Structure 1
Amino acid sequence: MSEKTHDGGVAVSDRPSPDDGLTAAELAAKHGLSVSGARPGLAEYVRQLWGRRHFILAFSQAKLTAQYSEAKLGQLWQVATPLLNAFVYYLIFGLILKASRGMSHGTYIPFLVTGVFVFTFTQSSIMAGVRAISGNLGLVRALHFPRASLPVSFALQQLQQLLFSMVVLFAVAVGFGSYPSLSWLLIVPALVLQFLFNTGLALIVARMGAKTPDLAQLMPFILRTWMYASGVMFSLHTMLAGRPEWVIRALQVNPAAVYMDLMRFALIKDYGADKLPPHVWAIALFWAVVVFVGGFVYFWKAEERYGRG
């Protein structure tokens, strides 16, 4: 408070202010102030994220279009890249190392191509997720939106790329004698579960990558190790024959192997249920729900720290 003196000056009154004694938090609450960029509650965060669904879809489509915009073959590289990888793996593992033992030539090639396409879906989602925040700091700092929109949109981009490539995967399967059947309908739930799993992983590595950008340099080595342990190029059941049963089961229930097995079972005529681990759909659902929910909550807990520092 202040009041005028006889000579026209200003003197400070001894009367206390009604705000005296209040903490900063109490003072902010009294006047309806809130922290800029504060993390909303989980339910509110989900609501905000759903409200940005059109942005997420448009952003993923724009990234997909721009990915090969400078290449002469353009979007054809979405199919050519995994096919070339599959060809190289076939030369090394199929012809030289004879990793196809236990399978006919007509079964091994679609087996290999399916494995490469499905694992690439997970691999690309993780690599895109690890840079989702650190690679888009300008957008994060300039606009206010749920930061989970970025890793989710990158996972969605990879799903769209896989769907574009599925035409070639179908052609390979048909070319080697696996014609469309009712089992092909299982592709839909398998892809949905894998997409949820990939999105959860993208959210986890997005938070980790935002704090430690060098993770993007380490991640390819981790993913390569995971690929070799998941049976992309060979049948785990055949290659591990004679090993303790628990070793075989432990490798078969790792999520990358589970989703590849489900796709192979759906697509390939000679890839029977005997090659799947017990309760494979329950395992696939478990990985999808636990990793997606856990990854979402883990990412949300650091929402107010992204783009700062």
Structure 2
Amino acid sequence: MNDIKLVLKEQFQNFGIIKRISTYEEKATYQSHYLGLMWQFLNPAIQVGIYYLVFGLGVNGGRQVDGVPFIVWMLMGIITWFFLNSSILGMSNSIYRQVGMVSKMKFPVSVLPSVNMASNFVSYRWMMLLLIIAMFIAKVPITIYWLQYFYYFICMIAFLFSFGILNATITVLVRDYHIMLQSVLRLLFYLSGPIWNLHTMGQFKGRDSLVRLLELNPLYYIINGFRDSFLSRQWFWEIGSQTIFFWLLVLILLALGSHLHMKFRARFVDFI
């Protein structure tokens, strides 16, 4: 518990530093590109176009999903997935990539994963603006369910930080872990529901049990939660078992990640 308190305390005390470093990294990454920071919007937008052609027009045949055009339904999931995927991979490699530099300064290494997550917010905000425009064109009604967005946004940040501090620590200790994580995320892309509806898969023996198992995936919980909010489908307390499992998992990841981080961070440079 003390490890959790210390790690969280370092995030709040260094919030300004996190924001400044993330802003610097955004500019440094794209400073040699003609379009600069526009690539943070253009890159995911191009990927959205490709997925829509393949899964929206190809596989789905342009049919509506949950009463809205497929492109709107897909955007609700794919935008969240882009942020989750880029943050998980970036946070996993954050300490390994920069620990040599920060070890020479009075700097809390635990904020490095948060810096990477903050850097991805620019792209996320642009894509959310695109989603709002798409929902406006599709005449998706604004209801009180939309307030639930803030709950699932907190869920997303809590999960990313808990999983990120754990991944970042393990990556320093076992370098192969980052490569394995990339492969796992490629699989989770198809098991988390950003581009297809798990509940409309074909009938086969054990289908219902498989769906219930896949619903325990924290990435699915977050992605489906945003759809529940914007499509006014249900409140998070109506899926109580999934909600309880999600927060238990977040607490376990946070406790384990904080403990490992505090135990080994004094020797990170030695492992690298």
Shorter chain as denominator, the TM-score bin is 0.7 to 0.9
CA distance in 2, matches of 1:255, 1:41: 23
CA distance in 2, matches of 1:214, 1:91: 34
The equivalent residue for 1:263 is: 226
Which of 28, 32, 42 is matched with 1:70 structurally? 32
Scaled by the length of structure 2, what TM-score is found? 0.85
CA offsets per residue over residues 25-80 of structure 1, 9 Å max, x none?
Answer: xxxxxxxxxxxxxxx96655554454322212221222233333322222222222
1:273 aligned onto 2:231: no
Q: Is the 8 A contact 1:64 1:157 kept in 2?
A: yes
Which of 199, 202, 208 is matched with 2:161 structurally? 199
CA 1:112–1:136 in structure 2 vs 1: closer, same or farther (change >3 Å)? same
CA distance in 2, matches of 1:292, 1:189: 19
Q: Give the length in aligned residue pairs.
A: 267
Which of 14, 17, 20 is matched with 1:58 structurally? 20
CA offsets per residue over residues 60-117 of structure 1, 9 Å max, x none?
Answer: 2222333333222222222222222121111112222228767278432111112111
1:90 aligned onto 2:47: no
1:212 aligned onto 2:212: no
CA distance in 1, matches of 2:248, 2:3: 25
Q: Is the 8 A contact 2:7 2:258 kept in 1?
A: no
CA 1:203–1:101 in structure 2 vs 1: closer, same or farther (change >3 Å)? same
After TM superposition, the structure 1 = structure 2 runs for residues 13-162 of structure 1, keeping only pairs within 5 Å, are 43-44=5-6, 46-98=8-60, 103=65, 106-162=68-124
CA distance in 1, matches of 2:171, 2:165: 10
Percent identical residues = 20
**How much does 1:221 deviate?**
2.0
Q: Which residue identity lines up with residue 149 of structure 2 in the other structure?
A: I
The equivalent residue for 1:23 is: none
* Matched residue SS, 1:302: helix
Scaled by the length of structure 1, what TM-score is found? 0.76
The equivalent residue for 1:34 is: none
1:183 aligned onto 2:145: yes
The equivalent residue for 2:217 is: 254
Which of these two proteins has the greater Rg computed from alpha carbons? 1
Any gaps of 5 or more consecutive residues in structure 2?
none
Q: Is the 8 A contact 2:110 2:165 kept in 1?
A: yes
The equivalent residue for 1:297 is: 259
What RMSD in Å do the two structures reach over aligned CA positions?
Answer: 2.8
Q: Which residue identity lines up with residue 41 of structure 2 in the other structure?
A: V
Q: Which residue identity lines up with residue 248 of structure 1 in the other structure?
A: V
Q: Is the 8 A contact 1:201 1:292 kept in 2?
A: yes
Q: Is the 8 A contact 1:249 1:277 kept in 2?
A: no
CA distance in 2, matches of 1:290, 1:179: 37
CA distance in 1, matches of 2:132, 2:255: 32
Q: Which residue identity lines up with residue 53 of structure 1 in the other structure?
A: F
CA distance in 1, matches of 2:140, 2:5: 45
Any gaps of 5 or more consecutive residues in structure 1?
1-39
CA offsets per residue over residues 197-230 of structure 1, 9 Å max, x none?
Answer: 0111111111121123344334332211011111
Is the deviation greater in 66-75 or in 162-171? 66-75
Q: Is the 8 A contact 1:64 1:161 kept in 2?
A: no
* Matched residue SS, 1:228: helix
CA distance in 1, matches of 2:67, 2:4: 51
CA 1:45–1:264 in structure 2 vs 1: closer, same or farther (change >3 Å)? closer
